[in-house]
Structure 1
Amino acid sequence: MSASVSVSGSAAVPISGNRFVIVGGASLVGSATAGELLDHGASEVVLFDNFAFGSEAAIAHLKDHPRLKLVRGDVMRMADLLRVTEGAAGVLQLAAYMTLSMDRDPWAGLDVNIRGVQNALEACRANKVAKVVFASSNATYGYGPGVAGELVESTPFHSVGAPPAAILYGASKIIGEQLCRDAFRKWGQDYVVLRYSTVYGERQHYRAANALYIIETIDKVKRGEAPQVFGDGSETKHFVYVGDLARANRMAFESAATDVAVNTSGPAPVTT
């Protein structure tokens, strides 16, 4: 897969001494990224979450850190976002409905994944936040048997043969990316899009359809059962370790790049 690689000007945001907000921070990626930013000298990292999907367990290892702050709030409430982003140098936008939750409540999922992103961007505009990192997905390339070979920016979005919730999720991420691009063009909001592949690592959750294979396999092994490879073993998926993704998020802030989308994945696909 390839992603857009244009770089316009310099939009580097140093980590050391700056305040960062992670929207949807009480999560697998949010907690790992918070630790990464704190380790690199951030003056404060704020985890903003309504705990609809986030959990105290995901951030328990950070709760006593003197430079970490937990704020309960909702991306659908503009006042919450305006308060929490004041004084921030960078915002990591993670809050989203994933495929399984999108299947249960598509209206709420589309609201959060689209209107929630626009709300975050508007709050960043109002508070002059230097840079936004938006968590997108390789789902922007589509799903189903038609997804094959090299995928580039001009490749059509594949939807035939895929579950509706998967298409809604992927399409919502495309719209989120375009909202970032719109903000850049209209008021110069610097941003980087990172298209995550399936994330695994410490504090693994059960919310992501593709990641379920990992956590369910671990659960089987713990019960003394043999792991299972479905089908003939020819199906593969791209995975990325959460620690690597945390570094990618941190580097996206530090990079001079803006108005850019980058694929983030492990080195090779894995049989599932």
Structure 2
Amino acid sequence: MPTSLVTGGAGFIGSHIVDQLLTIGHKVIVFDDLSGGRLENVSTDAKFVKGSILDHDLLSELFETHEIDYVYHLAAYAAEGLSHFIKRFNYQNNLTGSVNLINESVKHNIKCFVFTSSIAVYGNQTPPMSESMVPQPEDSYGIAKYAVELELKASKEMFGLDYVIWRPHNVYGERQHISDPYRNVIGIFMNQLLHGESLSIFGDGSQTRAFSYVGEIVPLIAESAMNQEVYGETFNIGSETEISVKALAKQVMKAMKLASHINYLEARNEVKHAYANHDKVKRYFGGLQETSLELGLQKMADWAKKSSHQPSKKFESLELTKNLPPFWK
């Protein structure tokens, strides 16, 4: 029975990866500091260890104690827009912590390191984003993700560390942390509706994204570590159907069966249109079964209305406030 370590395994995508790995017969160790994840997300069939990827001594002890075959690295603070204003926090959590994990993976000769990056690495290039494009990230979050990608490639060349890189985009679904006001627009909309608030949109809402239901992407990510044919490869993964944020707001209200009005805020500095090409994942894996946005939103809405959620809280340790969107102050 192979042993897999999942960092961020109490979080949104991570907990679904854990479930999938258990389904295909892995022993799973979940490593999470619970800053964004919830213990209730973790299957009782997995071993849970509370800790931060910034604690390299604890990571070292973890690898020494367990014979880990595969590492799935999902621990991150994924707030693209906010990352400009929390640079130190962003690079510590999304880059330095990742390097700690890569170091231990090299020392202990793991078989494959699976990393969830982001299409944020592409920046403001003309969509659809393709893996053949040279990344040009425009925010600190995207820069950190791309740096980890480069570090994995360097570690392969120097130490023989095999890896698979995934670039998911705008993933939504059950267990998403919807109380975070800085990331995951679908979760933000649902949380605002549950608390009787108006829906907040930066700019005129014409910016477009392709939203990916979590159940679509998890099986391929989980199974990729055991597929040596994809070692060293990078894949976009997610939906191919783009929608404007303004139209999305209406779809979310329909799924939640709750009405509200839209509060249009001053536009912020963000990529206007972002969606990806998925020809490569189709070529290697045969693609994925796409869940319609209507069905995916309904599944998430049903979960959100049955779950307990806290009101949104502002980030307490901003490092920069110059040009901070007024709504975030």
SS at match of 2:90: helix
Aligned equivalents of 2:189, 2:39: Cα separation in 1: 24
Which residue matches 1:8? Answer: none
Which residue matches 2:244? Answer: 271
| Conserved? CA contact 2:37–2:177, under 8 Å | no
SS at match of 2:117: strand
Q: 1:232–1:138: structure 2 CA closer, same or farther, 3 Å change rule?
A: same
| Conserved? CA contact 2:13–2:218, under 8 Å | yes
Q: More relative contact order in 1 or in 2 (CA 8 Å, sep 6+)?
A: 1
Which residue matches 1:186? Answer: 158
Confirm or deny that 1:27 pairs with 2:11: yes
| Conserved? CA contact 2:3–2:68, under 8 Å | yes
Q: How far has the Cα of 1:268 moved from its partner?
A: 1.4
List alignment gaps of at least 5 residues for structure 2: 246-329
Is the radius of gyration larger for structure 1 or structure 2? 2
Q: Return the match for 1:88 from 63, 68, 72.
A: 68
Confirm or deny that 1:45 pairs with 2:28: yes
Post-superposition Cα deviations, 1:6-28, rounded to whole Å, max 9, x if no partner, equal xxxxxxxxxxx211000121100
Percent identity among equivalent residues? 26
| Conserved? CA contact 1:82–1:127, under 8 Å | no
Report how many aligned residue pairs link the two structures.
239
Q: 1:222–1:183: structure 2 CA closer, same or farther, 3 Å change rule?
A: same
RMSD: 2.5
TM-score (norm 2): 0.66
Which residue matches 2:225? Answer: 253
Aligned equivalents of 1:222, 1:107: Cα separation in 2: 33
Post-superposition Cα deviations, 1:130-187, rounded to whole Å, max 9, x if no partner, equal 10001100000014xxx3244343446163xxxxxxx000000010100110111111
Report 1:222-237 matches (<5 A): 222=194, 234-237=206-209
| Conserved? CA contact 1:98–1:208, under 8 Å | no
Report 1:117-132 matches (<5 A): 117-132=98-113
| Conserved? CA contact 2:83–2:141, under 8 Å | yes
| Conserved? CA contact 2:8–2:31, under 8 Å | yes
SS at match of 1:254: coil
Q: Which amino acid aligns with 1:271?
A: S
Confirm or deny that 1:174 pairs with 2:153: no
Which residue matches 1:112? Answer: 93
Q: 1:80–1:208: structure 2 CA closer, same or farther, 3 Å change rule?
A: farther
SS at match of 2:225: helix
SS at match of 1:151: coil
Q: Return the match for 1:203 from 175, 192, 201.
A: 175
